[in-house]
Amino acid sequence: MVKDHRDTAFDRSLEDLPPDLRWREWMRRVEAVLFASASPVPREDLARVVGQNASVDLLIEDLAAELETRSFEVIEVAGGWMLRTRSAYAPVIRAAADVSVQELDLREFDIAVLAAIAYNQPVTRDGLKDIFGKDISRDLIARLHALRLIGTGPRSPRRGAPYSYVTTPQFLVAFDLQSLQDLPDREQLIDAGLRE
């Protein structure tokens, strides 16, 4: 039986602690939750571990400031926060740790398909064919699904009701985006010569 995590009993308000120690304990709680989570943690989940009068945003700010000299950082992505190793340490980690599972290993065309889905979602394989002028393989779609970068969107209202595809929160995390509104403007891509 799965335990409902919201029913966990512990002292959120910490009224018996002086204000500075209370704040420090709330920061530790937020850090512990972020450390334990494999996906971004939204504000409302973090608010469950601190008192009603605590500002999650200010706690995150203070935690980020405290971690400025550390090898990891708090980032805001996909509607929540995560702890992540700073990119400057990527070569060091690759040299010493088994991180092969975390690497996406995307080719240029894979990224182009992801971008097309992100900008045109929900989009069907036929819609992608119209964009690229060729069929997009089912294997590529399956691989992007397996990486959890895309998901199945609403079925198209056309005959046969084909599946459509949308990006996922994992897509936002992988590309350091808070939301799809953080995607580069289409005109900026054209000006940069990256899009026709």
pLDDT tens for 40-55 read: 888 888 888 887 778 8
Question: Does a structural domain hold residue 103?
Answer: no
Length, in residues, of the chain: 196
Cα dihedral sign for 70, 57, 44, 179?
negative
Do 89 and 112 sit in the same domain of this protein?
no
Do 91 and 114 sit in the same domain of this protein?
no
Instruction: Give the C-alpha separation, 23 to 54, whole Å.
Output: 8
pLDDT value, residue 166: 92
- pTM greater than the 0.85 cutoff: no
pLDDT value, residue 7: 53
Instruction: Mention every residue, 6+ apart, whose C-beta is less than 8 A from residue 172.
Output: 77, 78, 79, 178, 179, 180
pLDDT in tens, 149-196: 898 888 877 777 788 899 988 888 888 788 888 888 777 666 655 555
The residue type at 121 = Q
Question: Does a structural domain hold residue 102?
Answer: no
Examine residue 157 and say whether the peptide bond preceding it is cis (omega within 30 degrees of 0): no
Write out the residue range of the structural domain in which residue 145 sits: 108-191
Among 9-13, 135-139, 189-193, the range with the most confident prediction by mean pLDDT is 135-139
Do 84 and 165 sit in the same domain of this protein?
no
Q: Nearest CA to 177 among 44, 43, 82, 46?
A: 82
